[in-house]
């Protein structure tokens, strides 16, 4: 399958909760994030192409001026996770305001895994 993303996706070390903003229902947990979309890990599938008003919990108030990020997204794909009890759900953000973009960039900067540049030592 050809990779269609233009922007790098960041795999996060913190799993923020993601809700259906209208229903207040927990949909899943944020797994990765880019300026154009996100992936969540969920226990229930979502219909591909569904348009959802989402609320992402923001994990650390010292970095954000709000407790959540509200954004509308389209369900781009919904696949069974490596663990068959869960689904990997790809979300495409429909419109990202400049304020939302700042929050997304901050989340990516503060909470991303640092695979290649971070070393661990036991001692």
Euclidean distance between CA atoms 74 and 78, whole angstroms:
11
Structural domains in the chain, sorted by start: 19-111 (2.40.10.220)
What is the percent of the chain with per-residue pLDDT over 70, rounded to a whole number?
Answer: 77
For residue 6, pLDDT beyond 70: no
For residue 106, pLDDT beyond 90: no
- Give tens-digit pLDDT for 81-92: 999 999 999 999
* 109 membership: H or E segment, kind and range: helix 98-111
Q: According to the model, what pLDDT value does residue 120 have?
A: 38
CB 43 within 8 A of CB 88: no
Q: According to the model, what pLDDT value does residue 14 have?
A: 63
Cα–chain-centroid distance for residue 52?
14
Map residue 43 onto helix, strand or coil. Answer: coil
- Give tens-digit pLDDT for 9-63: 555 456 689 999 999 999 999 988 899 999 999 999 999 999 999 999 987 767 7
Query: Tokens for 3?
Result: 């990779």
* pTM of the entire predicted model: 0.78
Query: Quick one: average pLDDT of 97-101?
Result: 94
């Amino acid at each position: 399958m050809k990779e269609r993303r233009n922007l790098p996706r960041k795999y996060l070390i913190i799993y923020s909760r993601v809700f259906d903003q209208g229903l207040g229902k927990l949909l899943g947990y944020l797994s990765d994030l880019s300026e154009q979309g996100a992936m969540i890990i969920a226990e229930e599938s979502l219909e591909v192409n569904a348009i959802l008003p989402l609320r992402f919990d923001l994990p650390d108030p010292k970095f954000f001026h709000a407790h959540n990020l509200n954004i509308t997204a389209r369900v781009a794909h919904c696949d069974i996770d490596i663990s068959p009890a869960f689904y990997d759900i790809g979300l495409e953000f429909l419109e990202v305001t400049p304020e939302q973009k700042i929050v997304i960039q901050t989340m990516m900067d503060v909470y991303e895994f640092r695979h290649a540049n971070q070393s661990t030592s036991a001692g």
